[in-house]
Structure 1
Amino acid sequence: MNKKYGLKLFSLEVLAIVLGLIFLVPFYYVVSNSLKSFAEILTNTSALPSSLQWSNYVEAFDRMNYLKVFSNSLIITVASNVVIVIFCSMAAYMLVRTKKKISNIIFFTFVAAMVIPFQSIMIPLVKTASSLGLINSIWGLVIMYLGFGSGLAIFLYHGFIKGIPVELEEAAIIDGCSTLGVFWRIVFPLLKPITVTIVILNSLWIWNDFLLPLLVLQDPELRTIPLATFFFFGQYTKQWDLALAALVISIIPLLIFFFAMQKHIIKGITSGSIK
């Protein structure tokens, strides 16, 4: 080994590989058991499947009405990300550029709201949503996600916008650009790296969220993927073979999205900096 590649670096690489394998263990159990029969899952959970039961995926696809629940999850995730990005980026911009005490109070109120547990407000939330007609409504759920996601999004946008030079905006205003035009033409394109980060975090959260859709979407036609997967677990029986197959096909779109966005966030960090 040369001086640059010593025992310390080699040990760190081995440790990273071991940790990576440990984190992959749950994926092994999910994928391998999704290809087993129900009886084989009960008798030998850790072993590889003796024969690949691809029929589990076909039956899970049909039983959970996958295309319908996938479209519901996709609409909710995309719409929630759009409203969170638009409203929170504009709110954070005004909070940063408006040098008043009330701006700091509003900002810290959003930050403080992040520490409130959802379980402590879910009953009043459902009662309020019911009185406003937001129950059994995809767009009602999107509004709730806007409320719950605003704290983190505004916090991240707020810190990023403070690093954007005011001189860029002043030059645009001198050229006759309005405040709204300055934001959308000058500021918002520079927010691409943090916007991608916010979209990734919110997509992971919203796509996998179970409790809030369970409380709001009571109509079976409005079920999301986590809700559809949950119904493989009955009061007396648990269909592990179908449930695990359903988990795999529900994870695949999110993995594709994550790896695609991973490339964009690295590109945004390296090429989207302010000169």
Structure 2
Amino acid sequence: MTKDLKRKIASIAADLALMVFCLLYLFPIYLIVTNSFKSRAEMYDNMVALPKVLSFQYYASALEKVNFAVSFRNSLMLTVFSILAIVILTSMTAWMITRQKNKLSTAIYNLLIATMLIPFQTLMMPLMQEMSIIQRNTGIRMLDTIPGLIYMYIGFGAGMGVFLYSGFVNSIPVSLEEAARIDGCNAWSTYWKIVFPNMKPTTVTVVILDVIWIWNDYLLPSLTLKSKVNRTVPLATAQFFGQYTISWNEAMAALVVTIIPVLIFYLAGQKYIVKGVAAGAVKG
């Protein structure tokens, strides 16, 4: 057997293995989509088979039961305002930390990076107690409100945002900022006109990663949001999974509707992810 033939066989085997792994990875998504069109009897009869009738009645009933318009609005507001704040604040922080390069900026950077290593589960109870103390002493509602949850997401998203932006700022020539200052730009104008536009790949990466995280997050909203009017999409979808019964077909339909917005957003900006993450990992 020649070397070329061995190389060709190895290539074909690698491609087949990759296809098998992709099919295994996509199989749960196939189950969710196909069973969202089936009745409970048909689903229990054969979960893997395609639906006999393509009916959207379970989508309609699922959207009605979870009050999807309200939960979608809450998730959209939560995601959009959280990401706007994270992008603006972390990019500014990363720029100043990277350009200052003193002991204080290094300490702040290391502190923010250290927060990425702390599991959220260890912070759940202290976080809720701290938010209760703030609410009790200031009168500002931090629990069971969308603004309070946005405030928490800003804190949890700060570490990763500063990490990615700091690496990318190192790749921006300082001469561009010096030229802007010579032309009369102050620090504010330099940031918005020179620095921030050049950070577009990292900004898109931060936005995509945070959209996937915040839109799909269940744990933090479940701890803070108790009123039905404040429920996000994951919280609303969870009501199909009861203690004694589970409405699988309606739950699958709700999950499909939940996935679609973030999937579209991810596909639209995926080309920036590798570039942004690679640039964010560069150290100056």
| TM-score normalised by the chain length of structure 2 | 0.88
C-alpha offsets along residues 99-134 of structure 1, whole Å, 9 cap, x if unaligned?
211111111111111111111111111122123221
The equivalent residue for 2:209 is: 201
SS at match of 1:143: helix
Q: 2:252 aligns with which of 233, 237, 244?
A: 244
Q: 1:159 aligns with which of 164, 167, 171?
A: 167
The equivalent residue for 2:118 is: 116
After TM superposition, give the deviation of residue 11 of structure 1 in Å. 3.6
C-alpha offsets along residues 177-198 of structure 1, whole Å, 9 cap, x if unaligned?
1111111110100000010001
State the distance in 1 between where 2:125 and 2:262 align: 30
Aligned partner letter, 1:213: P
Mean Cα displacement is larger for which, 154-163 or 39-48?
39-48
Per the alignment, do residues 267 and 215 of structure 1 end up closer, same or farther by CA in structure 2, a change over 3 Å counting? Answer: closer
The equivalent residue for 2:138 is: none
The equivalent residue for 1:98 is: 100
Q: 1:258 aligns with which of 258, 261, 266?
A: 266
Counterpart mapping for 1:1-275 below 5 A: 6-132=8-134, 133-262=141-270
After TM superposition, give the deviation of residue 253 of structure 1 in Å. 1.1
Per the alignment, do residues 267 and 96 of structure 1 end up closer, same or farther by CA in structure 2, a change over 3 Å counting? Answer: closer
State the distance in 2 between where 1:108 and 1:45 align: 49
State the distance in 2 between where 1:99 and 1:232 align: 52
**Is this contact kept in 2: 1:210–1:227, CA < 8 A?**
yes
C-alpha offsets along residues 227-266 of structure 1, whole Å, 9 cap, x if unaligned?
0000111121111111111001111111111111225668
**Is this contact kept in 2: 1:37–1:53, CA < 8 A?**
no
Per the alignment, do residues 182 and 249 of structure 1 end up closer, same or farther by CA in structure 2, a change over 3 Å counting? Answer: same
State the distance in 1 between where 2:78 and 2:168 align: 26
SS at match of 2:79: helix
State the distance in 1 between where 2:104 and 2:27 align: 49
Mean Cα displacement is larger for which, 50-59 or 85-94?
50-59
C-alpha offsets along residues 204-237 of structure 1, whole Å, 9 cap, x if unaligned?
0000000111111111001011000001111211
Q: CA RMSD in A?
A: 2.0
Stretches of structure 2 lacking an aligned partner (at least 5 in a row): 135-140, 278-284
Per the alignment, do residues 240 and 123 of structure 1 end up closer, same or farther by CA in structure 2, a change over 3 Å counting? Answer: same
State the distance in 2 between where 1:78 and 1:7 align: 49
Stretches of structure 1 lacking an aligned partner (at least 5 in a row): 270-275
Per the alignment, do residues 268 and 116 of structure 1 end up closer, same or farther by CA in structure 2, a change over 3 Å counting? Answer: closer
C-alpha offsets along residues 47-88 of structure 1, whole Å, 9 cap, x if unaligned?
222333421111001111111111111111111110000000
Aligned length: 267
**Is this contact kept in 1: 2:75–2:233, CA < 8 A?**
yes
| TM-score normalised by the chain length of structure 1 | 0.91
Aligned partner letter, 2:99: R
After TM superposition, give the deviation of residue 9 of structure 1 in Å. 3.8
After TM superposition, give the deviation of residue 39 of structure 1 in Å. 2.2
Aligned partner letter, 1:248: V
Aligned partner letter, 2:108: I
State the distance in 1 between where 2:207 and 2:35 align: 31
SS at match of 1:231: helix
State the distance in 2 between where 1:148 and 1:267 align: 23
State the distance in 1 between where 2:268 and 2:101 align: 38
C-alpha offsets along residues 129-152 of structure 1, whole Å, 9 cap, x if unaligned?
123221111111111000000001
